[in-house]
Each structure stands twice: as structure tokens, then as C-alpha cells.
Amino acid sequence: MRWDIFCKVIDNHGDLGVCWRLARALAGAGDQVRLWIDDASALAWMAPRGYPGVDVLAWNEAPIAAENLCVDKAPDVLVEAFGCDPAPAVVEQFANAMSRDGRKRCWINLEYLSAEPYVERLHGLPSPVFRGPGTGLTKHFFYPGFTPATGGLLREADLQDRRAAFDRKAWLASQGIDWQGERLVSLFSYEPPALGSLLAQLESAREPTRLIVTAGRATAAVRALCPSGEPGGALSIHWLPHVPQEDFDHLLWSCDFNFVRGEDSVVRALWAGAPLAWQIYPQDDDAHHEKLNAFLDWLGAPASLRRFQHGWNGFANSRLEWPDAKELAAWALACQGALARLLAQPDLATSLRRFIAQKS
């Protein structure tokens, strides 16, 4: 099959991260994928080696080259990520191909991830197109999600095997981390209001912790609180440069606790199986509070983890308190239970293929 995936980078890296992962998953199964993207700059570190079968094409003001609009390149499936309105020339190519060969092709609107109940309700619903070259066609909403009644989550078929064969110490050494058995905590975040409190608690903890801080906003946030880059007490920091997505997974697999943010890394942290805290992408009117609580409900988060998550996300009247051993064990159990539930469900690329097969 031929797939065209359209993606606009709003801010941060989640849109591209998700679309790249989906493109890889489809191409890995033998399909041809074109990823149209308005700003591909982050792929230089996220996917420096590219992937066979995935063509990354610039989506900008310039007219699309005729060679990309020829008949034999018309997509079987048009994926519009997060309602980004695909290029009219490609929609026209898609519509023409459909009326020419009479074959049913699919237009998918891939939505944002949420555990809220509306996802199950809206997943798979049709949406008629009323304007532009696609007028008269029908798109379908495809919602990623955490339950079998949704589109599922992106998960590579060999993920668990790769994780089982992973050599933590060797990977850490390859990143210049001389690990001596101390607790490892990863930090991928925006600017969490409780970051100062976390650093202070880890500094004064009995157990030594090495915080591995990812590049970009997390690094800037920690540096703003700790300009020397060297905290005291039981806490030490390793500053990680931007790494490819595979190494981002390795980071999560290496750590005993993962702080993640946005929608792609929280899924990767679930696959890693260790306890996690999620800094959710902030939305107007605090709509993200409900989204976080829906996730915590689905996770079966113990009360102490809920409090911690609320504190990390700056909910009013909440304080961040690093867990004791018993609490941490309960958080780990919840995360492992969630992982087991997810592994019993089909992954997103598989669900998407099934959905398309049904529709066509």
C-alpha cells in the first residue's frame, strides 16, 4: 500500500515523533510511505539514519513537484495527523485516483492521545468533507488510546524482545555514564513548577540518585535552578544531548523512574515498565487536568501516585513528595499491570490496517 502522512509541527516534538514512528511501522511491514512535514529539522537527531521505505517530503508554500503528483504515486491511505489539513494538490490526486479506478481508498484523521471516555465514543466515526478538492469524500477519525475500543498505541512487534536483550550498563557506558549502581532517574519535561522541590528532595535523600536530564527544555529548566550544573548531596546530574528515538527508549529502559512529557514519551515510558510521572502538555482552561486524571484512573494509580502527579503538574493544593520504598513498589505494580493490559491489545499500526481493510 502507499501511504501519505501529513504532519504540522505545532511546537515541541510530539507531532513529528508520533508521525515518524507510524511511518516507520508501516514501512517496516513493506509499505511505501511519504511523510509530508512542514519542519523536519528535529529528524536530524530523532531519526538521523532515516528508514527504508519512508520518504520525507517538505510541505511548505512551494508548489508540489509534478513527479510527486503522478498517477502511480497516488496514496491508498491519506493520513492527516491532528487535523492538519493535507496539501490540496495531494487531496486532489487522492480523489482523482479514487474516481478513476473505483477502488476505495481511506482518508484518516489521526487524533491526539487521551484516556478520556470521549475517545471510545468518537473513534472510527466518519466525517464528510465539504470543501476543497476532497468535497464529497469521507474522512474517518482514528483515536489512539489505552483500551480495546480505541485505535491502541504505537508499539513495534519486536519491542519486548529488544528490551529483554538490552544491556543497561553497556548502553550507559556508551553515553559516557559510569554507572555504579546508584538510582537512575530520567527527566524529560517542560518547566515543572515542582522541579526545585524534586531536586531538593533528591539532594537530601539517603539513596544516591543520578538524574539524566534530556536536551532542550528539561535541560534549560534544571540549569535555571542549578546554574553550576552540579547539585549537592545525594544528587548528581548527567546531561544528555538529543538522541535518536531508539536511544530515547534505551534511556527509559535504563532508569528506575522516568519523568516524561507530552504524548509520545508517556507511551514509551509505559513500554519501559518502570514507575513514571507524566508532565502533561498544558492546555487552555486547564483541560489537561481532566486528561491527566483520566490517565491516572486508567492506570489504577495509587493515591500517593495521584498526589505526586498532581504536584508535578502544578495542580492547586498539591505538593510533590518523593515516594518511600513501599509507595514506589505500589507505583511500579500499577505500571506493570498497565503494561500487561496494553500488551494484550493490538498495536496502533495493526488496528489501523484492520480499520482500513474494513472500510475498503
Q: Report the residue number, 80 or 263, with the smaller CB distance to ligand TRH.
A: 263
Q: Which residue is nearest to ligand TRH (CB)?
A: 14
Quick note: the x/- pattern for ligand TRH over 203-222, rule CB under 6 A, is -----------xxx------
Give how many residues touch ligand TRH by CB under 6 A: 23
As measured in angstroms, the least distance from the Cβ of 296 to ligand TRH is 17
Helix (H, G, I), strand (E, B) or coil at 304: helix
15 binds ligand TRH (CB under 6 A): yes
Quick note: the x/- pattern for ligand TRH over 231-270, rule CB under 6 A, is -----------xxxx--x------------xxxxx-----
DSSP 7-73: E---SSSHHHHHHHHHHHHHHHTT-EEEEEES--TTHHHHSTT--TTEEEEE-SSSPPPGGGGSGGG
313 binds ligand TRH (CB under 6 A): no
Task: Return d(Cα 14, Cα 75) in angstroms, integer.
Answer: 24
* Element holding 107 (H helix, E strand): strand 106-110
**Residue 129 burial by Cβ neighbours in a 10 Å radius (0-12, 13-18, 19+):** middle
With a CB cutoff of 8 Å and minimum separation 6, the contacts of 140 are 106, 107, 108, 109, 124, 125, 126, 127, 355, 359
Task: Return d(Cα 154, Cα 93) in angstroms, integer.
Answer: 28
59, 146, 188, 295: which one contacts ligand TRH (CB under 6 A)? 188
Respond yes or no: is residue 15 known to be catalytic. yes
46, 187, 274, 301: which one contacts ligand TRH (CB under 6 A)? 46
Q: Report the residue number, 4 or 15, with the smaller CB distance to ligand TRH.
A: 15
As measured in angstroms, the least distance from the Cβ of 219 to ligand TRH is 9
Rule CB under 6 A: which of 114-153 touch ligand TRH?
none
Helix (H, G, I), strand (E, B) or coil at 341: helix
177 binds ligand TRH (CB under 6 A): no
For ligand TRH, the binding residues (CB under 6 A) are: 10-15, 17, 46, 188, 214-216, 242-245, 248, 261-265, 281
